[in-house]
Amino acid sequence: MGRGGEKDFGKEAIDTLVKHMEDKQHEFILILAGYVREMDHFLSLNPGLHSRFPLVFHFKDYSVNQLMEIADRMVEEKDYKLSKEAERKIIEHLTEMKGIHYSSTFSNGRYVRNIIEKSIRAQAMRLLMLDHYDRDDLMYLRSSDIVLKD
């Protein structure tokens, strides 16, 4: 919204939003969420916006342990399990990513979800190559299944 361009209705939308916030200020609550830099830019697009959001909360990025909890829940919800090697590979990768500190591209929970989804697809492809597989093969995501790059 408000990024500019020939067919951008951002300014009109922001002006409408500001007017509605003024006209209906006691009738609704508006919550905006986004990355710090983009939100700062958005709030600067109209002089009346910034003052209408007196409360600003900054949430810390998840720790590696919290990200692994998210990964474990996602895997469990899909009836899979991570092998110890797969778990170690993800932990090492997340630790590295947080060290590099991709503040605008490292998307925390979404990043973990993408790893798990790609890894499940990789596991399926690996199983297609096997003549025979057992229950553990079906349930476990192995280190070789963990996809960390596109």
* pLDDT tens digit sequence for 46-97: 887 888 888 888 888 889 999 999 999 999 999 999 999 999 999 999 998 8
The two three-digit tokens of residue 150, written as one number: 């596109």
Mention every residue, 6+ apart, whose C-beta is less than 8 A from residue 141. Answer: 75, 80, 81, 82, 83, 86, 116, 119, 120, 123
- The chain-wide mean pLDDT, for the chain, equals 86
Q: Residue 85: which residues within 8 A CB-CB, separation 6 or more?
A: 142, 143
Most confident of 5-9, 10-14, 53-57, 70-74: 70-74
43, pLDDT greater than 70: yes
pTM, full prediction: 0.73
pLDDT digits (tens, 9 = 90+) for 95-134: 988 877 655 556 688 899 999 999 999 999 999 999 899 9
